[in-house]
Amino acid sequence: MDSRLKPDRQEIVTKTMTRDLTLESNRSPLKGITVSVLLTGLVVAWLVWGDYDQYRGGVRFREETLRVSELRGTIVHLDEVLTDSARMAAITGDPQWEERYRNSEPQLDQAIKELMKRGQSLPGSEAIAETDAANIKLVDLEHRALDLVREGHPGDANLILFSEEYAIQKKIYAAGVTKHFAALDMQLAVSQRWNRNMMILSLAADLTVLAIVAGFWLAVMRNMQRSRAALLSRREELEQRVRQRTAELATANTGLTLEVQERKQVEAALRASEER
């Protein structure tokens, strides 16, 4: 009875060992895959954040460049508008020119304030102060000329607007604005080079991180292949042992069956002998 149960026990043991062997072989690759997935997720999040940050930096740089260009055009244009309006008012006596001057003056003042605010951290702050002082003097001369026009003295107004003092202040103002915009252009150029270098460094870092992640995944895959090869080898070994044990059990069962049959024959012969 026990011998007939041994193959069943052996089969159960074989299944149990195979299951344990499979679990043991899969445990290490699963850990590696879990770590690889987490690492890949972190790397992807880092790359996305870096790309988004670079995109925001590029947008800010383009906006800054565009705004500086707009300020340049606005200041140059409005400066000429104020000068031409004041002189035309003095020449023609038409109040529309003064109205045009009054409408354009606050726009120029706002543009100059924004320019000064953007240039506070730039070298050459004395040029900004000189530009602001020259602008104040120009506005004062133009207001005096407009007052003279309203009082009926256009000749005196022309003397002010075409005087040497007015020309000197215009020259100081134009030179200061030009110098300040040159400093802004230089700052933008430096920022552009810095952004380009940061993009190159970021790209190199991204490629390095991706190479590390790819190497980690490659190591995990190789580990899985080795685990599968080891599992197959151990399975083959286990199956061979099972086949060998099964053959031994079959041989033992065969011998036991023959022995039982012989005993039965002997017992039958003894009973027949006793009956006789």
State pLDDT tens for residues 156-197.
989 999 999 999 988 988 888 788 777 777 877 777 777 777
Please compute the mean of the pLDDT values over residues 197-218 and round it to a whole number.
Answer: 78
Strand spans (E) along 100-140 = none
CA dist., res. 252 & res. 237, Å (int): 22
Place of tokens 């003092």: 165
> At what angle are helices 125-150 and 154-161 packed, to 10 degrees?
170
72 assigned to some structural domain: yes
Query: Is 108:80 a contact under the CB 8 Å cutoff?
Result: no
**What 3 state SS string does 10-34 have?**
HHHHHHHHHHHHHHHHHHHHHHHHH
Domain ranges, residue 97: 33-203
Distance CA 236, CA 243 (A): 10
The pLDDT confidence band at residue 1, using thresholds 50, 70 and 90, is: very low
Q: Of 114-123, 139-148, 202-211, which has the strongest mean pLDDT?
A: 139-148
What is the Cα–Cα distance from 259 to 157, expressed in whole angstroms?
Answer: 143
DSSP state letter for 122: S
Assess if residue 251 is contained within a domain. Answer: no
Domain count within the chain: 1
User: What residues contact 4, with CB distance under 8 A and at least 6 apart?
Assistant: 253
Quick one: average pLDDT of 219-242?
78
- Give the pLDDT score at 112: 80
At residue 121, the pLDDT reads 57
Structure confidence at residue 124 (pLDDT): 52
Q: Is residue 21 one of the residues assigned to a domain?
A: no
Q: Say if 170 falls within a structural domain.
A: yes
CATH no. for residue 76? Answer: 1.20.120.1730
Per-residue pLDDT tens over the stretch 212-225? 878 777 877 887 77
CA distance 203 to 54: 11
Within-domain flag for 77: yes
Neighbours of 222 (CB within 10 A): 11
d(CA 251, CA 257): 10
Does a structural domain hold residue 47? yes
Type of residue at 169: Q
Kindly state whether residue 193 falls inside one of the protein's structural domains: yes
pLDDT of 119 reads 61
- Per-residue pLDDT band for 2 (boundaries 50, 70, 90) equals very low
- Average pLDDT taken over every residue of the chain: 77
CA distance 130 to 124: 10
In a domain, 264, yes or no: no
Percent of the chain beyond pLDDT 90?
A: 12
Strongest mean pLDDT among 30-34, 161-165, 253-257, 269-273: 161-165
Return the sign of the alpha-carbon dihedral for residues 50, 56, 59, 63: negative
Per-residue pLDDT at 6: 46
Model pLDDT, residue 5: 40
91-104: string of b/e by CB count within 10 Å (b at 16+)? eeeeeebbebbeeb
* Choice among 25-34, 58-67, 92-101, 205-214 with the minimum mean pLDDT: 25-34
Q: In this predicted model, what pLDDT tens digit does every residue of 14-59 receive, in sequence order?
A: 555 555 545 455 555 666 677 777 777 777 787 778 777 777 877 7
User: For residues 122 and 180, what is the distance between their CA atoms, to the nearest angstrom?
Assistant: 9
